[in-house]
Each structure stands twice: as structure tokens, then as C-alpha cells.
Structure 1
Amino acid sequence: MTAKKVLVIDDSIMIRKMVKSILAGKYDVLEASDGKSGLDAARRAFPDLILLDFVMPKYNGYQTLQAIRRVEGLQKVPVIMISGLKEQVTEHVPEPFTEFDFLEKPFEADVLVSRIQNFLNTEPEQAASTATSRSSSSSATPVIRDVPPVREEPSLQMILNRLTSTETLLVQGIENLIQREVVARINELNTRVDHQDQAIKMLNQRMDKISEQIDHQNKGLMLILRELKSLQGK
């Protein structure tokens, strides 16, 4: 059976590689580093689901989503928008979100997998088949009572999953902090620019007033000179 395709559009190579590691063996993961290349990748591959970062260069997540929805065959592909700054998403799209699902960074690996499975209906059948086999075997085999519970040691895969989840949270947490710091610095710079614009405007107004005063004084001096010349002529 062919694995379903998940397209990850994120300008962070760390997040893309992390998501690819989490979904390895479950889905065929495609990558794109910005909205424009993500749109091109979606047109080529027609993925079953798109994981879309909101804060990106060129096109942000919502602009990319609108472009994707205009492509024939991609209007109904499920999209999970991811961002560490939910308020930036709500500035463009008010809640509740209807065009996409939203997952806030940092997210754990099992949360991401569960959210994708909810859209693609790819819950592992192993649990169901195991439950069926247990049910059939329990009806054929007498129940053995008073058996002490066997303590299961954590498997290597479970440990790896936990490590991956911890690494994911760490990477996303660091990127989220950096992103917030960048946004704060940009806002601070914008505030400084606004203050400078106001100061320049005030200086221009003062210069205009001084120029008017100089013109008025010049006119007064010209009148005085004319009076002096007329007196000298007499």
C-alpha cells in the first residue's frame, strides 16, 4: 500500500527535519522552505495533507493557503497551520478557524501524529487486529487466574520516541523564543521610527515658522530702506 503524502512547508530546516523524523515510516514526507516553493510542490505532488508554517518570508502561511485553494484538486486537502505566535494568525483569520486546523508550537511528536491521523484516518490497524486475536483466543482458551502481572520494560522504540519528542519541543521552543525576540525588536524599531518621524515633522514645522518670521522681518527691513532712501532724496 502506497504511503500517504504529507507536505511540510516551513522556512526552518530544523523543523522540517524534525517533522520528517517524527513521521518516518508512517507517511511519505515532502519538504518546502517557503510559501512559493511549497505551492509549486503542492501542484506537483498533490499531497494528502499539508503542514504549513504561518510566519515565513515571501508568502506567509495564510497567503500560501489562499494560493493553494485556487489550484484545481487542492481545494479540499486538509491543512494544519503551525505557529508559535497564535496572535499573528488571528490578526489575519479570526477564530474559530474553519479553513484549516491549528497547532501551536512547540508541539509534542505524539500530538502531531495524532492530529494527522485524525485527518487521514490512518490509525494503525495493529491494535484492532490484536484486540480481535485476543478476543478469539480468550474464547477458546480458559482463563488463568492469579497470574502475577508482568512488568514491561520500556522498549527501545519508546525511548527513541520520547527522545524525539523532547528534542522536538526543545528545537521549537528555541525557535519560538528567537521568533518572539525578532518580532519584539521589529516592533521596537517601528516605534523608534514613528518617534523620529514625529520629531522630524515638528522640526519642519518650526523651520516653516522661522522662515515666515524671517520673511516678515525682511519685508520690514525693505520698508525701512525705502524710507531712508526717500529721506536722502529730499
Structure 2
Amino acid sequence: MTEKKVLVIDDSIMIRKMVKSILAGKYDVLEASDGKSGLDAARRTFPDLILLDFVMPKYNGYQTLQAIRRVEGLQKVPVIMISGLKEQVTEHVPEPFTEFDFLEKPFEADVLVSRIQNFLPPDAPATVSVVPDRRSEVISRDTHASEEPSLQTILSRLTSTETLLVQGIENLIQREVVARFTELNTRIDHQDQAIKTISDRVDRISEQIEHQNKGLMVILRELKALQGK
């Protein structure tokens, strides 16, 4: 049976590779590095589910989602929005989220798989009749051996751990950047207010000077009139 397709749209290559590693053997994972290329990939492949990062260059996750929903055949494809800053999502879309599911970064592998399986449940395995024979002992030994963690499993776990660490660092940096921008915007607002106050004072001084000039002109005319008598 053909594997279901999951499209991962995220500007972080670590996130894309981690998701691909987690879903390997379960789904056919497609990748896109930003909203525009993600929209193009969705049009070409018509995935069964989209994992969509919110904070991305060019188009954010919600803008990308709106564009995807306008494509015939993609109006009902399940979307899981992911972000390390949930408040950035709620600024654009108030809770409860009805157009998509939400998953906060960093996420564990089993949590991601569980969320995806809510929309794409795994196919039931085919029933196979097994006839015992003299190879049962060998099969038993192989089964026991397979229970031991393989090198690939260990490497996968190490990769997931490393990725989660990178995600945590990325989120800390992202939060710091947002905090700095907020502080900068506050300073700019204060500066704008100070400039407006100064501008108002300059306008008042200009008006006073204008009135004084008019008074001086009147005095000068009166002096000239007196001199002419």
C-alpha cells in the first residue's frame, strides 16, 4: 500500500531532518524550507497532512495556510501548526484553533507521531498464519536479538536529542529577539512621543514669534507715521 505523504514546511533544516527521521518507515516525508516553496510543493504533491512552521521568512505559517486553503483539493488537508512561541500564533489566530492543530516546539518524537496518527491512523497489519516448524528456535533467537537496541536506534535517539537541544537554543534565541524588538519598539514609541512634544513646543514658539513680529510691525508703522507728521 502506498505510504501517506506528510509535507514538512519549516525554515529550520534540523527540524525537517528530525521529523524525517522520526517518521521514517511510517510516512513518505516531503520537505520545503519556506512558505512559498511549501505552497508549490503542496500543489504538486497533494500531501495527506502538512506540518507547518509558523515563524518563517517570506510568508508566515498562517499566510501559507490561507494560500493552501485556496488550492482546489487542499481545502481539507489536515494541518499541524508548530511554533516555539504560541503567543505569536494567537496574535493572528485566537484560540481555540479550528483551522489547524497546534504543536509547541520542542516536541518529543512520540508526541509528534501521536498527533499525526490522530489524522492519519496507521493501516491495520495483515493477518498472517504461521506454521510452526524446526526453524522456530532460530526465529525465537532472531526475535530476541531484535529486542536489543540497534546502532541505528541509538543514533536516531542521539539525533533526536541533539535536535531537541538545538530547538531549545533556537527558541531561546527567538524569544530573546522578540523581547529585544519589543523593547526597541517601546523606545521608538517613547522617542516619537518626545519628538512630538518638541514639535508642539516649536510650533507654540513659532506662533509666539509670529505674534511678536506682527506687534513689531504695528509699532514700526506707528513710528513711521509719527515721523511723517
Distance 2:97 2:149 in 1: 39
Which one-letter code corresponds to 1:104 in the other structure?
Answer: E
Among 209, 221, 227, the alignment partner of 2:222 is 227
**Contact 2:8 2:29 (C-alpha < 8 Å) held by counterparts:** yes
Among 204, 208, 218, the alignment partner of 1:209 is 204
Q: Does 1:94 align with 2:94?
A: yes
2:21 equivalent in structure 1: 21
Q: Does 1:177 align with 2:185?
A: no
**Contact 1:9 1:35 (C-alpha < 8 Å) held by counterparts:** yes
For normalisation by structure 2, the TM-score amounts to 0.85
1:147 equivalent in structure 2: none
2:12 equivalent in structure 1: 12
Deviation at 1:82, TM superposition (A): 0.3
- 1:123-150 Cα shifts (integer Å, max 9, x gaps): 674xx969x97xx99xxxxxxxxxxxxx
Deviation at 1:158, TM superposition (A): 4.3
Distance 2:221 2:99 in 1: 79
SS in 1 for 2:102: strand
SS in 2 for 1:80: strand
2:71 equivalent in structure 1: 71
Which one-letter code corresponds to 1:172 in the other structure?
Answer: Q
**Contact 2:14 2:163 (C-alpha < 8 Å) held by counterparts:** no
**Contact 2:21 2:156 (C-alpha < 8 Å) held by counterparts:** no
Among 159, 165, 168, the alignment partner of 2:154 is 159
Number of aligned residue pairs: give it: 215
Deviation at 1:155, TM superposition (A): 4.4
**Contact 1:54 1:82 (C-alpha < 8 Å) held by counterparts:** yes
Which one-letter code corresponds to 1:29 in the other structure?
Answer: V
Equivalent residues in 2 for 1:6-155 (5 A)?
A: 6-122=6-122, 125=125, 154-155=149-150
SS in 1 for 2:91: helix
Runs (5+) with no aligned partner, structure 1: 138-151
**Compared with structure 1, are the counterparts of its residues 62 and 88 closer, same or farther at alpha carbon in structure 2 (3 Å cutoff)?**
same
Runs (5+) with no aligned partner, structure 2: 133-146
SS in 2 for 1:73: coil
**Contact 2:86 2:104 (C-alpha < 8 Å) held by counterparts:** yes
- 1:69-120 Cα shifts (integer Å, max 9, x gaps): 1111111111111001111112222222221111100101221122222321
Distance 2:121 2:115 in 1: 10
Distance 2:117 2:123 in 1: 6
For normalisation by structure 1, the TM-score amounts to 0.83
**Compared with structure 1, are the counterparts of its residues 164 and 115 closer, same or farther at alpha carbon in structure 2 (3 Å cutoff)?**
farther
**Contact 1:32 1:38 (C-alpha < 8 Å) held by counterparts:** yes
Larger CA deviation: 5-14 vs 23-32: 23-32
Deviation at 1:154, TM superposition (A): 4.4
Which one-letter code corresponds to 1:55 in the other structure?
Answer: V
**Contact 1:49 1:79 (C-alpha < 8 Å) held by counterparts:** yes
Distance 1:196 1:155 in 2: 61
Which one-letter code corresponds to 2:225 in the other structure?
Answer: S
Deviation at 1:35, TM superposition (A): 1.1
Distance 2:118 2:218 in 1: 89
Deviation at 1:168, TM superposition (A): 2.5
